[in-house]
Chain A
Amino acid sequence: MKKILLLTLILMAQVTLFSQVKTITGAGATFPYPIFGKWAYEYEKITGLKLNYQSIGSGGGIQQISNKTVDFGASDSPLKSEELNSKGLIQFPMVIGGAVITYNLEEIPDLALNLDGESVALIFLGEIKKWNDPRIAKLNPELRLPDKEITVVHRADGSGTSFLFTNYLSSVSLKWKNLVGYGTAVDWPTGVGGKGNEGVASYVKQSEGGIGYVEYAYAKQNKMKVAKLKNRDGNFVEPSVESFKMAAENARWDKVDNFYLILTDQSGKNSWPITGASFILIYKNQENCEKAKTMLQFFDWCYKNGSKYALDLDYIPIPENVYSMVENLWAEKVVCSGKKVWSN
């Protein structure tokens, strides 16, 4: 009996201990999960704040924040203004990433292949079937392209990477827009679907003549062959931190409501065309004032001090001109019991 009593006491003590530690919870996209984890780890060392982030996918994140089971949601694709307003949410970009095109051709080294939106769209529509097709050859006058079949590989699971990729194809190819459209999962006209970046990567690796798209960070960490892409300004650019950053900086965030901006096919001399931001969703009307403030402080720290951690993990941090707009939005919109939570 005594033992049981003791055990109960210990358990209760732990419970009270736990409630003293501040925790914020979030759920959503899998893409930013590693960097959220890193930021949270570094921030906890300074402040003791814990972040509990469940990477269950953007769809799940939107559902969880709508049901108010978490403090913030994260989505790889922005929500439209009507949906945000009807739920009382605001959204802002937290980190930038993008997709790159990878291929498996023995005779062609990394970054030697040039592609443009139209050719990529036709490849993924199944209309360009061979690597030596004139529509690819004219972009690569100095290459000797092999007479090989193209094997198209796409993501099978719904993902933010697919969203960006198909959104890019929709904005550069009318045919793609009409036949397929864009979304986290689409009705792929041809090819095979791999599960996750690793699935796509290994399918491409296994088929000579394969082409697929993966997240930039994944391609870089696994030293995969990537193609250069022609951007809106007509230059062939290679995917790099600079070219992603350029796309984010050149985007006209001030012209849109609620940061509803997909960064694909942005102008700018060196902008990488398949770029996108991962978004955070929070309520305009916060219920717990202290928690709301803590949460915004954490995001603020991530913007201002988190860049180097992001770059270490091959994510692109949000440029300063963009995050100052975000913080203005907090100051303007986020309230708790009638009072503003954030001031610049």
Chain B
Amino acid sequence: MKIPFSKKERTPFEVLSFISAIAVFSIIFLIFFALLIESFPAMKAFGFKFLIGLKWDPVRDIYGALPQIFGTLTTSFLAILIAFPVGILTAFFLTEISPSYLSRPISIGVELLSAVPSIIYGMWGLFVFAPIISRRLIIPIKNKFPNSPLFEGPPMGIGILTASIILAIMILPLIVSICREILLLIPDKVRESAYAMGATKAEVSFKILFPYAKKGIIGSAFLAIGRALGETMAVTFIIGNQHNITTSLISPSSTIASTLANELSEAVTKLHTSSLIFLGLVLFFLSITVISLSRYLIYSVEKNSGSRK
């Protein structure tokens, strides 16, 4: 590898920063290799069937991860479906509409939301939010549409829907802050020319600014999905932790991360542990893919706007 500075410039400061950067970068590979090696027994035992198997049975040592993969993708997708419109509207409000004495406290509030630890969301979700969702949302809907397959099962307030809403709240700050930054990057002359043509605020926001920053905004959504995919503690408390694939939004499910949190500490057989680590590897790939995609999209906006990388 070529060291990116000449011999004369090799001061301790530069060498140390170079080593730190390499160390941080190599951690990701070390994690990847550790997961790969540890999941080898499960790969050997199940192969590709691991990804499409429906049964997760620690007693008989049979492991299939499709229910968890399904749960992970469903909850993340629903979460972004809820959080994205709210997030983008908040960002428009903060950059285009709100007077500055309002936008500051709101921005700080949104940032505080991201500072709340995951476990707090889990506890709040379990003890406070789930009962409210059950009484105020699920039971009324069930009464109105008694035969809807989307709302089949007892209205406990625990399951895919509640988990997705909690996840949406957790990823909201990320979407708001990235969208806000991206909107602020758009040169003022773009807005001003639109307003000069007599466009309303809504028209400027949706017809001028949104197309301009489209890639970056979608990138922020992918980044948020990346966070939602790996979210563990809060989801574990409210998803119901049943390994099944279901069409009902109120029935329990499980995600990759919640399965790991639940079972890793008490996994006794080697194959069980290995299968859990294999699950971790699957999650790793999902996250890496989503985050790379988001990085690419956000990067392409920043390049267009000509700002510093």
Contact = CB atoms under 8 A, between A and B. Distances in A.
B58 A193 contact: no
B154 A151 contact: yes
A192 B252 contact: yes
Contacts of A133: none
Contacts of A188: 242
Interface residues of B, number: 34
Interface in A140-166: 149, 151, 156-159
Interface in B241-285: 241-243, 252, 254, 258, 261-263, 265-268, 272-273
Nearest to A188: B242
Given A187-B57, A206-B131, A207-B156, A193 B265 contact: no
A100 to B, nearest CB: 20
Contacts of A210: 156
Interface residues of A, number: 33
B61 to A, nearest CB: 10
A57 B265 contact: yes
A342 B154 CA distance: 57
Interface in A191-243: 191-195, 199, 202-203, 206-207, 209-210
Given A151-B154, A187-B60, A192-B240, 18 more contacts: A56-B265, A57-B265, A149-B154, A156-B262, A157-B263, A185-B58, A185-B272, A187-B55, A187-B58, A191-B252, A192-B156, A193-B252, A194-B241, A195-B241, A199-B237, A206-B156, A207-B154, A207-B156
Contacts of B134: 206
Interface string A170-188: 0000000000111111111
A316 interface: no
Q: By DSSP majority rule, is chain A's interface helix, strand, loop, or mixed? A: loop
A137 to B, nearest CB: 21
B268 A195 contact: no
Contacts of A159: 266
A192 B267 contact: no
B21 interface: no
A183 B58 contact: yes
B174 interface: no
B265 A202 contact: no
Interface string B146-168: 00000000101111000000000
A195 B56 contact: no
A319 interface: no
Contact of A202 (B126, B240, B254, B267): B126
A185 B265 CA distance: 11
A285 interface: no
A31 B236 CA distance: 20
Interface in A91-118: none
A192 B158 contact: yes
B23 interface: no
A128 B237 CA distance: 27
19 contacts: A57-B265, A59-B266, A60-B265, A156-B236, A156-B240, A156-B258, A157-B263, A184-B58, A185-B58, A185-B263, A185-B266, A187-B55, A187-B56, A192-B241, A193-B241, A194-B241, A195-B262, A199-B126, A199-B237
A58 interface: yes
A182 B131 CA distance: 32
A187 B243 contact: yes
A274 interface: no
